[in-house]
């Protein structure tokens, strides 16, 4: 009797579906705007956090940071920093840092191509991004290969499809496009295939200005409108230990002047580019992030900046970076404490050092994800698809990681606890030893009561075997292929192709813009 009722309910749930995990159902959860429901977890005492902050200020004041861009050194010197032009070292006083922290916004409204894609970057909100910046792409059918524009465009379609990915990112480098024209190709793909917040590489002022112009054209903005709101973002990485290179320093200046978002992120690997202790690595990271934040605020007080953290450890046997480790999680929790100490929105990083989408990849990525969630990260980059410590992004892993992100998103939704949800009448309706499959309480809710799995297979062993015995990674192949086959870009995004193509053709004829290094 119970088995028959359960089968009837399952058949009813599957009506209108094509039988594949992740197909459409009547359930329509909202994953576009997430508030973190968890209390931030500490790893240090308040006194230790204050000591890390104070030591970071001491690093900047007594030791300094090497700034390779003359313009940036000049800006810092004019604001009161002590600059040695021969060594290019810049010592930044704590009064300058304090002023910068006071002027940096605590909440950043970031605008997508559709108002439903707008984000509020602030403590307490959560935004997830796919793995970014990889030179290679991989999937089960085509194997591991260098990144191409075609693969980049496929990723943009997948990123647009999933609401739980809130911002676009440079998943892979399209190495089949000349570097003078690559920013046109990646900008066009983002702006014509998606209505989410786009990414712009900071690779010199000429490329940045081209990319800003493309965003303005696509969004229909005047120069003043663009500069008065945040319509794109970049990631600024310092060269740990204590160095800010030319394109990154220039990027901070360019984005601050234009009022666009800079996520200023040192990449500190404990034992390699940072002290071997978690506290030591975070001290160096904090100092470098504060230096970049200070430069941005000097250029334009109130410039939208996100405090960045991406600290982990290395394998001391090989020197290879590791992710999802206990040290990575502790560093993320500590970074969250430092971000809350400053009051700024902040970025964390997920990822995995595994070479393929396997059990190691899954647990490393999910431990890193939970570290970010429990640390209260505003933005978590590399939350889906990232492999090999950033050397590749996997189509299948993107899909399987989305399952974890959607589970986190479900936990953000309120769980009803009113009298109707508590269900006394339902309990009274079902006699001892009975079942709730056909209870009125169940029948009015079963279509939308539970999360619909994307890639997980909940069938028993016999049914799973008869269906081909596919692993989750193998099932993920069918899902990404179906999404790409059915993809239709937002009409507002597709409509921008003409004006963008006209701009790209003109700039290409003029020779494009070479990256600056």
Q: Give pLDDT tens digits for 479-499.
A: 999 999 999 999 999 999 999
What digits encode the pLDDT tens for the residues 356-404?
999 999 999 999 999 999 999 999 999 999 999 999 999 999 999 999 9
Closest CA to 319 of 280, 270, 386, 279: 270
What digits encode the pLDDT tens for the residues 433-475?
999 999 999 999 998 999 999 999 999 999 999 999 999 999 9
What digits encode the pLDDT tens for the residues 396-409?
999 999 999 999 99
- Look at residue 235 and give its three-state secondary structure: strand
pLDDT score for 182: 98
Find out whether the peptide bond into 134 is cis, omega within 30 degrees of 0: no
337-352 burial, b at 16+ Cβ within 10 Å, e below that, comes to bbbbbbebbbbbbbbb
Phi, psi (rounded to 5 degrees) for 233: -145, 165
Task: Say whether pLDDT at 13 is over 80.
Answer: no
Task: Say whether pLDDT at 8 is over 90.
Answer: no
Task: Say whether pLDDT at 18 is over 90.
Answer: no
Locate tokens 């663009």: which residue?
A: 226
Task: Say whether pLDDT at 14 is over 70.
Answer: no
pLDDT score for 9: 47
What digits encode the pLDDT tens for the residues 173-191?
999 999 999 999 999 999 9
**More confident of the two residues 19 and 169:** 169
- For 60-72, what is the mean pLDDT? 98
Alpha-helical runs (H) found in 413-496: 419-422, 424-429, 440-443, 461-466, 472-486, 491-494
What digits encode the pLDDT tens for the residues 248-274?
999 999 999 999 999 999 988 898 999
Report residue 316's pLDDT band, with 50, 70 and 90 as the boundaries.
Answer: confident
How far is residue 349 from each of residues 35, 199, 223, 364, 378, measured CA to CA in Å? 18, 16, 33, 12, 11
Report residue 500's pLDDT band, with 50, 70 and 90 as the boundaries.
Answer: very high
Mean pLDDT in the chain?
A: 94
pLDDT score for 27: 72
């Amino acid at each position: 009797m119970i088995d028959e009722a359960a089968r009837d309910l399952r058949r009813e749930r599957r009506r209108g579906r094509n039988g594949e995990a992740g197909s459409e159902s009547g359930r329509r959860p909202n994953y576009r705007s997430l508030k973190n429901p968890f209390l931030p977890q500490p790893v240090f005492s308040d006194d230790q956090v204050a000591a890390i902050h104070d030591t970071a200020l001491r690093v900047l004041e007594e030791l300094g940071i090497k700034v390779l861009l003359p313009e940036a050194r000049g800006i810092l010197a004019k604001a009161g920093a002590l600059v040695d032009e021969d060594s290019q070292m810049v010592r930044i006083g704590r009064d300058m840092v304090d002023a910068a922290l006071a002027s940096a916004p605590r909440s950043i409204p970031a605008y997508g191509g559709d108002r439903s894609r707008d984000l509020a970057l602030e403590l307490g909100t959560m935004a997830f991004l796919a793995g970014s910046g990889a030179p290679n792409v991989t999937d089960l059918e085509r194997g591991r290969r260098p990144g191409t524009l075609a693969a980049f465009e496929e990723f943009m379609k997948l990123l647009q499809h999933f609401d739980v990915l809130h911002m676009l990112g440079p998943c892979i480098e399209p190495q089949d496009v000349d570097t003078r024209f690559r920013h046109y190709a990646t900008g066009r793909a983002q702006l014509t295939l998606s209505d989410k917040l786009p990414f712009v590489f900071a690779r010199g002022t000429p490329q940045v200005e081209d990319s800003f112009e493309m965003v303005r054209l696509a969004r229909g903005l005047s120069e003043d409108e663009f500069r008065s709101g945040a319509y794109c973002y970049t990631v600024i990485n310092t060269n740990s230990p204590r160095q800010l290179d030319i394109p990154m320093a220039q990027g901070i200046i360019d984005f601050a002047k234009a009022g666009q978002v800079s996520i200023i992120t040192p990449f500190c690997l404990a034992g390699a580019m940072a002290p071997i202790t978690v506290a030591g690595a975070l001290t160096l990271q904090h100092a470098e992030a504060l230096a970049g934040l200070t430069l941005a605020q000097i250029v334009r007080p109130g410039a939208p900046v996100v405090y960045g953290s991406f600290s982990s450890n290395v394998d001391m046997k090989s020197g290879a970076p590791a992710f999802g480790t206990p040290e990575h999680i502790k560093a993320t929790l500590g970074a969250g404490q430092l971000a809350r100490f400053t009051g700024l929105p902040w970025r964390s990083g997920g990822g995995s050092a595994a070479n393929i989408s396997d059990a190691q990849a899954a647990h490393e990525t999910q431990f890193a994800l939970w570290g970010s969630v429990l640390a209260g990260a505003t933005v978590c980059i590399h939350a889906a698809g990232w492999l090999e410590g950033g050397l590749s992004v996997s189509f299948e892993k993107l899909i399987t990681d989305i399952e974890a992100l959607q589970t986190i998103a479900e936990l953000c939704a309120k769980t009803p606890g009113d009298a109707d949800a508590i269900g006394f009448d339902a309990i009274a309706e079902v006699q001892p030893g009975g079942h709730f499959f056909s209870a009125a309480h169940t029948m009015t809710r079963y279509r939308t009561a539970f999360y619909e799995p994307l890639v997980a297979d909940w069938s028993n062993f016999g049914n799973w075997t008869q269906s081909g015995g596919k692993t989750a990674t193998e099932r993920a192949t069918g899902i990404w292929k179906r999404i790409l086959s059915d993809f239709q870009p937002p009409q507002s995004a597709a409509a921008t192709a003409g004006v963008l193509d006209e701009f790209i053709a003109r700039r290409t004829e003029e020779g494009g813009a070479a990256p600056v290094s």
